Structure 1
Amino acid sequence: MDIYVCNLCGHILSGSNKYNKHIIKSHILKGRYNHRKFKKLQNKVLFINVKDENNIPLNLEERYIRSKIKRKILKFE
């Protein structure tokens, strides 16, 4: 089991799915979110992780999401 630590608030989370959900809910969308949009954004973040690991180029929307997360000083793990 993988353990992830949020760099902004120090939360300790088990599993990358819980880590991505925490980042999106707490730091990117700031608590308010539409569940349908949240699920889409969560899937996009997971897909960006896979693309980064395999060195596949990102499209414009994916680069925007990645830059928004990096501006918050978050790590993809």
Structure 2
Amino acid sequence: MIHIGSSFLNSAKEFIDLWHSIQTLIQRYKLRVVPYEDDHDKIMEVYQSLGIKFDFLIGAFNSSQILFLLLANS
């Protein structure tokens, strides 16, 4: 089971549509969409849940900024 983070601002819809088009080729994998809130107050909790609650997130991210924020909050 692959857990995909999806929110109102960073919807997994496009990925899910793509997944459905190739699902017959990779039947052993299943998806579960996990909703999250991506407001300013909750986003660090979301990032810290990667690998625990989510396998990956959909959206545009600045990886160096996320790394800095994660290190600053740990």
TM-score by length of 2: 0.32
- Of Structure 1 and Structure 2, the greater helix share is in 1
**Greater C-alpha radius of gyration:** 2
TM-score (norm 1): 0.31
Q: Which has the higher contact order (CA 8 A, sep 6+)?
A: 2
